[in-house]
Amino acid sequence: MRQGIKKLIQYGAGVALLRLLRLSRAVLNKSRSLLATGIAQALCKHFGEGSRVQHNVWLQDLKQISFGTNCIICSGSIVVSESENGFMDIGDDVSINMNVRIDYTGGLKVGRNVVISESAVVYTHSHGFDPHSPPRGFYKEIGDLAWIGARAIVLPQCQRIGKGSVIAAGAIVSSDVPPNSVVAGNPARVIRTLQ
């Protein structure tokens, strides 16, 4: 009986410690996110009301980035440019989920209510066949209400994703996407038109 009570107390202490560790990690992450959001508010070209940047997000050259209202960039995301002339304009109510990589070297305009799902990649430049050559930028526009699925890759040759379009998870997009279309595959092709 004593042995059972002793194990129960040890188990309870372990659970309490685990809960305390989880709580302290949550408080730390929340604090780091508040700090990241504050830095973005201070340094971005424009930072809309209600927008948030979570902890562990890399935003390069903040003065070239504009956020609309109520946007979020989730933890682990990377937003970079290989050119001083790159810019990124994000519309209202945009959600950029965890571990997304966005390159805005050629310029990027993201419309309103766009969702970029976990681990998706968006490129706006190419080095051709020589990785050491200077980057060649391609302007890209992602239309309102577009949804880029998890682990999709949008290559620089795709310069427009139309309004209301859906890029399926894992798709590799190398050409423009018409409005209200669903594209999937490698290379991505239109598989359906939405009403």
Query: Domain containing 39 — which CATH number?
Result: 2.160.10.10
- Rounded to the nearest angstrom, the gap between the alpha carbon of residue 69 and the centroid of all alpha carbons in its chain is 16
pLDDT recorded at residue 19: 75
Q: Is omega for the bond preceding 187 within 30 degrees of 0, making it cis? A: yes
Give 130: exposed, middle or buried? Use CB within 10 Å, 0-12, 13-18, 19+: exposed
Identify the domain containing residue 86 by its residue range. 2-193
Mean pLDDT, the chain, rounded, equals 91
Catalytic residue among 46, 55, 125, 127: 127
pLDDT recorded at residue 5: 57
Q: Is 194 a residue whose pLDDT tops 80?
A: yes
For residues 169 and 42, the model is more confident at: 169
- Residue 6: pLDDT band (50, 70, 90) is low
Report how far residue 13's alpha carbon sits from residue 159's, in angstroms, rounded to the nearest whole number.
57
Report how far residue 96's alpha carbon sits from residue 104's, in angstroms, rounded to the nearest whole number.
14
Contact 115, 97 (CB under 8 A): yes
Q: Number of folded domains in the chain? A: 1
**pLDDT above 90 covers what percent of the chain?**
68
pLDDT recorded at residue 131: 85
Up-side HSE of residue 167: CA atoms within 13 Å toward CB? Answer: 37
Q: Is 127 a catalytic residue?
A: yes
